[in-house]
Amino acid sequence: MSTSVPDQRGRYGRYGGKYVPETAMYALEELEQSLNEAMADEKFMTSYHEELKKYSGRPTPITHAENLSKRLGGAQIYLKREDLNHTGAHKLNNAIGQALLAVRMGKEKIVAETGAGQHGVAAATVAARFGLECKVFMGEEDIRRQELNVFRMKLLGAEVVPVSSGSKTLKDATNEAIRYWVANVEDTFYLIGSVVGPHPYPKMVRDFQRVIGDESREQMEALPDKVIACVGGGSNAMGMFYPFLKDDVCLIGVEAAGKGIHTGEHAATLSEGRLGVIHGSITYLLQNETGQIQEPHSISAGLDYPGIGPEHAYLNETGRVTYTGITDNEALHALKVLSEEEGIIPAIESAHALSEAIKQAPDMNENEVILVCLSGRGDKDVHTIMEHLGGDVNE
Amino acid sequence: MNKRFEKHVDGRNDLFIPFVVAGDPTEETTINLALMLQEEGANAIELGIPYSDPLADGPVIQRASLRALEHGMSLEKAMGLVKQMREKGLEIPVVIFTYYNLLLQLGEERFFALVRENDIDGLLVPDLPFEESEDWRESCNANETALISLVAPTTSDKRLQAISKEATGFLYCVSSLGVTGTRTDFHSSVFTFLDRVKEHSMIPVAVGFGVSAPEQVEKLKEHCDGVIVGSAIIRQVEEQVEVLKKEASQKEGIDQIRAYVRNLISPYGKVKIHS
Q: Which DSSP symbol is given to B49?
A: P
For domain A11-52+91-205, which CATH number applies: 3.40.50.1100, 3.20.20.140, 3.40.920.10, 3.10.20.740? 3.40.50.1100
Report domain extents, chain A.
Answer: 11-52+91-205, 57-89+210-388
Query: DSSP alpha helices (H): ranges in B118-249?
Result: 134-142, 157-166, 189-200, 214-220, 231-239, 241-245
The residues, any chain, with a CB within 8 Å of residue A392's CB and separated by 6 or more, are none
Q: Are strands A369-374 and A62-64 parallel, antiparallel or unpaired?
A: unpaired
Beta strands in chain B (DSSP E): 15-21, 45-48, 94-97, 122-124, 146-147, 149-151, 171-174, 205-208, 226-229
Check if the beta carbon of residue A50 is closer than 8 Å to that of residue A236: no
Q: Spell out, as residue ranges, where chain B has pLDDT lower than 70.
A: 182-185, 271-275
Q: How many whole angstroms separate alpha carbon B90 and alpha carbon B32?
A: 10
d(CA A278, CA A306): 8
- First-to-last C-alpha distance (Å) of chain A: 47
Answer for the pair B224, B209: CB distance below 8 angstroms, yes or no. no
SS3 B240: coil
CB A307 within 8 A of CB A281: yes
CB contact under 8 A, A292 and B99: no
> Cis ω on the peptide bond leading into residue A6 (within 30° of 0)?
yes
Interface of B with A in 27-46 (CB under 8 A): none
CB contacts of B179 in chain A (<8 Å) are 179, 182-183
Q: Which of residues 158-177 of B touch A (CB under 8 A)?
A: 159, 174, 177
Name which of A9, A23, A188, A281 to mutate to probe chain B: the one with the most chain B Cβ atoms within 10 A of its Cβ. Answer: A23
Structural domains of chain B ordered from first start: 3-267 (3.20.20.70)
Domain at A57-89+210-388, CATH from 3.40.50.1100, 2.60.40.1840, 3.40.50.300, 1.20.1560.10: 3.40.50.1100
pLDDT in tens, chain A (395 residues): 445 899 999 999 999 999 999 999 999 999 999 999 999 999 999 999 999 999 999 999 999 999 999 999 999 999 999 999 999 999 999 999 999 999 999 999 999 999 889 999 999 999 999 999 999 999 998 898 888 899 999 999 999 999 998 888 899 999 999 999 988 988 999 999 999 999 999 999 999 999 999 999 999 999 999 999 999 999 999 999 999 999 999 999 999 999 999 999 999 999 999 999 999 999 999 999 999 999 999 999 889 999 999 999 999 999 999 999 999 999 999 999 999 999 999 999 999 999 999 999 999 999 999 999 999 999 988 888 888 887 666 54
- State the pTM of this model: 0.95
Rounded to two decimals, the ipTM of the complex is: 0.94
Chain A residues with CB under 8 Å of B158 CB are none
Beta bridge partners of A86: none
> In whole angstroms, what is the distance from residue B218 CA to residue B204 CA?
17
Q: Is B152 on the interface with A (CB under 8 A)?
A: yes
3-state secondary structure of A11: strand
Whether B154 and chain A come into contact, CB under 8 Å, resolves to yes
A5/A338 Cα distance (integer angstroms):
36
Spatial neighbors of A274 by CB under 8 A, at least 6 apart, are A284, A285, A287, B105
Handedness of CA B20, B21, B26, B27 (dihedral sign): positive
Compare CB distances from B131 to A18, A185, A274 and report the shortest one's residue. A18
Which of A 162-201 lie inside 8 A of B, CB atoms?
Answer: 165-167, 171-172, 175, 178-179, 182-185
- Residue B215: exposure state from Cβ atoms within 10 A (0-12, 13-18, ≥19): exposed
Write out the H or E segment, with its range, that includes residue A230.
strand A226-230
- Are A360 and A73 a contacting pair, CB within 8 Å? no
pLDDT at A1: 45
Position A3 scores a pLDDT of 53
Closest CA to B150 of A30, A280, A26, A176: A26
Q: Give the minimum alpha-carbon distance from B43 to chain A in angstroms, rounded to a whole number.
A: 24
Cα-Cα-Cα-Cα torsion B33, B38, B39, B43, nearest 10 degrees, comes to 150
For residue B91, the model assigns a pLDDT of 98
What residues of B are in contact with residue A163 (Cβ under 8 Å)?
none
| Closest listed residue to residue B153, CA positions, set B98, B96, B204, B210 | B210
- The SS3 of residue A285 is strand
- Domain A11-52+91-205 shares a fold with domain A57-89+210-388: yes
Q: In the annotation, is A91 catalytic?
A: yes
- Residue A242 and residue B32: Cα distance in Å, rounded? 56
